[in-house]
Amino acid sequence: MALKPPAKKVRMKEQEPQERIHNFFEVALGYSEREAMEEAKRCLQCVHHPCVSGCPVGIDIPGFIKKIKENRFYEAVKILKYYNNLPAVCGRVCPQETQCEAKCVVGKIPGSEPVAIGRLERFVADWEAVNVKDNQIELPENKNKKVAVIGSGPAGLTAAADLAKQGYVVDVFEALHKPGGVLVYGIPEFRLPKSIVDREIAYIKSLSVRILVNTPVGRAVTVEELLQNYDAIFIGVGAGTPKFMNIPGTNLNGVYSANEFLTRVNLMKAYLFPEFDTPIRKGKKVVVVGGGNVAMDAARSALRLGAQEVTVIYRRTEQEMPARKEEYFHAVEEGVHFRWLTQPIEYLGDEKGTLIGVRCITMELGEPDKTGRRKPIPIEDSDFVIEADTVVEAIGTDANRFLLNQFKGLSINKWGYIVADEQTGATTLKKVFAGGDIVTGAATVIEAMGAGKKAAYWIGKYLEGEFNPWK
């Protein structure tokens, strides 16, 4: 083995917590060229490159890192883009700690951190944006076959880009006025600046992909029309319908679903109200229910809107919470409070129907359930009240029925998600493929992209007549 690499990742500059809680600018500031090259040196260029097997889209990780080390950034861009159509997004929001970086050999050395693959990915993508003016890639000959993609989240965008690169005519249908799915309506600006999403979408459009916004499929365009007019269909509509705990007081003013709260903030820019017209409640005392990324995003957004106190309540403990560690630490640094083993049981309101508090109960962890996680059990008579004028429920989403109700003949599983073959994305309906959260339930950006990528490959095979599971 070569020289032992430095134990720690090159630190990435961040906005100081005291400063950043007053703005929506990006928290992490990225590597300089010198820092990136230094970090790239930590990679051992392992021949068996375990990191790649941890990546849902199989990026040639040592390949692009080597180019960074050699100061050949443009070549790093090319390698990265070959695998990943949204690298600036993934470099920022992928859970690298459980994927590529979890497998990195350097991280296995006692006391050592893995190579900062995510930060390097982000660096390359951002470098391209500044330094490469013409990122046109040559498209193959138009194959005169049309594919409809429903939904413009990471699954749909990836499928669209890959299909366009194969020479198909691709139309993407999006219900909202802006493409990007959760990337534009859910994940906040301070974690993923919208200019970056816009940039990557501009790239996908440059591949001749047409994106039709304001077009909710099922109503604005019917499923029959799509089946008639297109040679194949990819469904990537996400899982976006909010779950509610359905406890008393859910419809009080001040009780939000995370989807509504974050959509107001991100897509509609309510944090710039009244410069932008969409309002949001700027709560003084905010309670966020949940323990995932969505809860972290809601809590940190509430702080930035000017809350004096933000408390996340989660029914299990710190160990079980599904949020990315990095974002949890960011939230702690910024002063978000956490109450573990706590569950809301009632929202209290005044006579005008406005929220004034949350009645909670304390939980304890019982025996592990089928998933291996210890089940939270309420402790009798342990209830207490937290004063609050805003609550955000971030307890997950269900499959949205909007499209599925209109899609006759498509098999749906018992949780309401589309049944699709894991390898190919093929559904039970001829020429229809699906992927992303609407197949798996709420998951990650990169998994949705992986599904979009696989489906694009198999849609290509289907259109070439080399694959047909519906015979």
Ligand X SMILES: Cc1cc2nc3c(=O)[nH]c(=O)nc-3n(C[C@H](O)[C@H](O)[C@H](O)COP(=O)(O)OP(=O)(O)OC[C@H]3O[C@@H](n4cnc5c(N)ncnc54)[C@H](O)[C@@H]3O)c2cc1C
**Interface residues toward ligand X, by CB under 6 A:** 93-95, 150-156, 173-176, 181-182, 186-187, 216-218, 236-238, 240, 262, 293-294, 297, 324, 400, 402-403, 436-438, 442-446, 448
| Sequence-separated (6 or more) residues with CB below 8 Å from residue 340 | 314, 316, 317, 318
Q: Which helix (H) or strand (E) holds 200?
A: helix 194-206
In the complex with ligand SF4, the residue whose CB is nearer, 68 or 459, is 68
Least distance in angstroms from the C-beta of 140 to ligand SF4: 31
- Return the ∠ at Cα 148 (arms to 468 and 163), rounded to 5°: 70
Looking at the Cβ atoms of 91 and 236, the one nearer to other proteins is: 236
Among 21, 57, 59, 61, binds ligand SF4 (CB under 6 A): 61
DSSP secondary-structure letter at 269? -
How far apart are CB 452 and ligand X at their closest, in Å?
7
> Which region among 40-48, 219-227, 330-338, 397-405 touches ligand SF4 (by CB under 6 A)?
40-48
Comparing CB distances to ligand SF4, the nearer of 86 and 104 is 104
Any contact of residue 43 with ligand SF4 (CB under 6 A)?
Answer: yes
CB of 299 to ligand SF4, least distance (A): 32
The reply to whether 242 sits near other proteins by the rule CB under 8 A is yes
At a CB cut-off of 8 Å and minimum separation 6, what does 95 contact?
A: 324, 444, 446
Contact 353, 252 (CB under 8 A): yes
- Would you say 384 and 360 are in contact if contact means Cβ atoms under 8 Å apart? yes
Which residue's CB is nearer to other proteins, number 51 or number 184? 184
Backbone angles phi, psi at 211, to 5 degrees: -115, 115
**One residue of 21, 55, 106, 358 binding ligand SF4 per CB under 6 A:** 106
Q: Does a cis peptide bond (omega within 30 degrees of 0) precede residue 274?
A: yes
Hey, what's the torsion of the CAs at 79, 85, 88, 89, to 10 degrees? -140
- Least Å from the CB of residue 73 to ligand X: 25
Distance from the Cα of residue 63 to its chain's centroid: 25
Give the interface segment with other proteins, choosing from 51-59, 90-98, 173-181, 373-381 (CB under 8 A): 173-181
Q: Coil, helix or strand for 19?
A: helix
CB-CB neighbours of 197 under 10 Å:
23
Cβ closest to ligand X, residue 30 vs residue 153: 153
Partner that binds at residue 15, options ligand SF4, other proteins, ligand X, none, CB closer than 5 to 8 Å by kind: none
Q: d(Cα 215, Cα 213) in Å, to the nearest integer?
A: 5
Q: Radius of gyration of the chain from Cα atoms? A: 23
AA identity, residue 300: R
Give the bridge partners for 357, in sequence order. Answer: 348, 387
Question: Rule CB under 8 A: is residue 264 a binding residue for other proteins?
Answer: yes
- Least distance to ligand SF4, CB of residue 9, Å: 11
Name the minimum Å distance from CB 243 to other proteins. 9
115 near ligand SF4, judged by CB under 6 A: yes
Residues 343-402 that bind other proteins (CB under 8 A): 352-353, 400-402
Is residue 50 a contact point for ligand SF4 (CB under 6 A)? yes
CA within 13 Å, CB half, 322: 14
* Angle at CA of residue 58, ends 52 and 60, nearest 5°: 65
Please report, as ranges, the residues that interact with other proteins according to CB under 8 A.
175-177, 185, 213-216, 219-222, 240-242, 244, 246, 250-251, 253, 257, 259-260, 263-264, 268-269, 273-281, 352-353, 400-402
Please report, as ranges, the residues that interact with ligand SF4 according to CB under 6 A.
43-46, 49-51, 61-62, 65, 104-106, 115, 117
